[in-house]
Amino acid sequence: MGTSTVPPLKIAVLHYQPSGDPIDPVVDHICHALKELGHAPVTIGVHKGIFDLLEAIDHANADLVFNVCETFADDYRLEVNVAAVMEMARLRFTGSGTAGLLLAQDKVLTKQLLQYHEVLTPNFVTFDGDTFDAFGRMQFPLIVKPARSDASIGIGKHSVVQDWDELTRRVREIRRTYNDEAFAEEYIEGREVYVGVIGTPQRPEILPIIELDWGDWKAKYKVSDRDVKFGPDTEGSPGLVIAKDISPELKARIERSALLAFKALKICDYARVDFRISSKTNEPYILEVNPNPYLEKDSELAMGGEERGLSYTQLIGRIVESAATRYAIKAKPERTQSGETPAVDGGGRAEKSERAEKSERAEKSERAEKSERAEKSERAEKSERAEKSERAEKSERAEKSERAEKSEKAEKSEKAEKSEKAEKSEKAEKSEKAEKSEKAEKAEKAEKAEKSEKAEKSEKAEKSEKPEKSEKAEKSEKAEKSEKAEKPERHDRSERADKGEKVERVA
Ligand SMILES: Nc1ncnc2c1ncn2[C@@H]1O[C@H](COP(=O)(O)OP(=O)(O)O)[C@@H](O)[C@H]1O
Ligand SMILES: [Mg+2]
């Protein structure tokens, strides 16, 4: 039993199981290791049918799914979708999620990401049917690969091409046979090594480097095809060994690249990174990154673990531990009323109640936070309102007093004006009256004088000059009449003067 901090869990090992096929030995290896670790493993074999998958997982009611399902419905590209379904069902499972599986499955995308992070990968060229896009300078020979393949599908000795004719032919073949885009990259002559990485994205650990020993390989280009990977292990056939004679400097470069790739591709829990070390430059080139790599007892990862001092069981334990850390599954010290640890069989439910408790706590604290926020904002609002009303009151008061002052002043000045006017008008009245009375007096006097003069004159006329006057008046009247008959009337000055003269003369 390992020194795991993970509590005993019910773990469902999810694997691909076409009906009639023998069970992959890796399932047994993992179950055995889980048992040794104190967990309760169950197996879930899926083939096709999404409802079967969901029903089987639901029925298992496991605390954790150990996901080794690399194919679904006979399509290895649907490995991503199995993870997606589990994510949608809010299940906790080991290994990468949809992001990591998707990014690593597409080799072109992987290479673009690696180039972005300045991690060495062979220069390459992509084809979309009509045109091609080159990423870096290249030299034949190139190796042509399907963009989204695995386990050397579509890769063999015929994959290495020497010129454009061979290249276009191979690109067409891949498109036709594998219904996939093809890309070509520089063939890197040199050692082929594999590096295991285990742990969370925050604390990944690099395992010792494993090398592919080519044995009696005679062909010029060495390509790990399906025969190399899955063929019988006979004498002289290629096999895995612990890499020797790698300088500390080269080892450091390989490890650095592997770590960067693990993080850049959003890998979780475990991965294997495939390298070629150029025999020309001694540089390590990443060929691809494998999330959820094969975990058989004699796999590269198991070998690397062993070399590090980790038994196979401990390696499986480290993967479970990494997943448990990501999902915050912790050992529960408290016991149920019957004194049992609520883990293995009822673990799913116990875990669920823990989750419910957590979410309740989170909800409560959120509610408290919200109400505190609301209270704060209310307080702030109130004090703002009070401040505003105070300000408004003050300004109103100030305004009022100003207005009052003004109106008082205005009143005063009005009064003053009025009184001034009144005074003036009184004075004017008085002076007018005085004037008037003076005038009236004068007029009276003049009238009186006139009257007395007239009376005097009329008296005199009456008394003495009555005949003379009438004679003269008669004369002048006659003269005037005769003159008018002689000359027409003229209106200029001289004439008037004339007239006057004449009148005088006549008179
Ligand atoms: N650029 C390359 N240079 C040399 N050999 C390569 C190159 N790319 C792939 N190979 C060979 O082909 C094998 C499979 O290629 P890889 O990209 O790892 O695809 P797969 O996903 O099928 O493993 C490698 O293990 C290696 O032997
Ligand atoms: Mg590979």
> Near ion ligand 2, which residues have CB within 5 Å?
274, 288
Residue 307, Cβ neighbours under 10 Å: how many? 15
Ligand 1 nearest-atom number relative to CA 151? 22
Q: Is the pLDDT of residue 414 over 80?
A: no
* Biggest CA-to-CA distance, the chain: 191
| Top-confidence range, 2-11, 62-71, 351-360 | 62-71
Q: Which of 111, 155, 189, 213, when mutated, tests ligand 1's pocket best, judged by the most ligand atoms within 8 Å of its CB? A: 155
User: Counting atoms of ligand 1 from 1, which one is nearest the CA of 188?
Assistant: 3
CA of 130 to the centre of ligand 2 (A): 28
Give the three-class secondary structure for 23: coil
Above 60 in pLDDT, residue 258? Answer: yes
Q: Which atom of ligand 1 is nearest to the CA of 145?
A: 17
pLDDT at 448 over 50: yes
Q: Tell me the pTM.
A: 0.68
| Mean pLDDT (whole number) for 344-352 | 38
Reported as a single tens digit per residue, the pLDDT across 2-39 is 456 899 999 999 999 999 999 999 999 999 999 999 99
Residues 355-383 have a mean pLDDT of 56
Residues 247-273: what's their mean pLDDT?
98
Per-residue pLDDT, 507: 25
Task: Output the CA torsion 112→117→123→125 (10° steps).
Answer: 10
Q: How high is the pLDDT of residue 468?
A: 39
Q: Which domains does the chain have, with CATH numbers?
A: 96-118+189-291 (3.30.470.20), 123-187 (3.30.1490), 475-506 (no CATH)
CB 83 within 8 A of CB 96: yes
Q: How far apart are the CA of 224 and the centre of ligand 1, in A?
A: 6
Residue 152 Cα to ligand 2 middle (Å): 7
Instruction: Look at residue 423 in the predicted model and tell me its pLDDT.
Output: 58
* Triad 436, 441, 442: Cα angle to 5°: 95
Spatial CA neighbour of 68 closest among 15, 11, 10:
15
CA R_g for the chain:
60
Question: Could you tell me the distance, in angstroms and rounded to a whole number, from the CA of residue 222 to the centre of ligand 1?
Answer: 9
474 pLDDT exceeds 50? no
Contacts of 97 (CB under 8 A, 6+ apart): 83, 87, 266, 268
The residues, any chain, with a CB within 8 Å of residue 423's CB and separated by 6 or more, are none
DSSP calls for 177-193:
HHSS-EEEEE---EEEE
Protein residue with its CA nearest to atom 19 in ligand 1: 152
Three-state SS letters, 250-312: HHHHHHHHHHHHHHHCCCCEEEEEEEEEECCCCCEEEEEEEECCCCCCCCHHHHHHHHHCCCH
Among 26-40, 440-454, 466-480, the range of highest mean pLDDT: 26-40
Work out the mean pLDDT of the chain and round it to a whole number. Answer: 79
The structure tokens listed for 89 are: 């069902």
Contacts with 194 (C-beta within 8 Å, 6 or more apart), sequence order: 209, 210, 211, 212, 240, 272, 273, 274, 275, 300, 304
Starting from the CA of residue 221, give the closest ligand: 1
Per the CB < 8 A criterion, the answer to whether 232 and 284 are in contact is no
Q: Give the HSE-up count for residue 406: Cα atoms under 13 Å, Cβ half-sphere.
A: 6
Residues with CB under 6 A from ligand 1: 122, 143, 145, 149-152, 155, 185-188, 192, 223-224, 274, 276, 287-288
Q: State the distance from the centre of ligand 2 to the C-alpha of 150, rounded, in angstroms.
A: 7
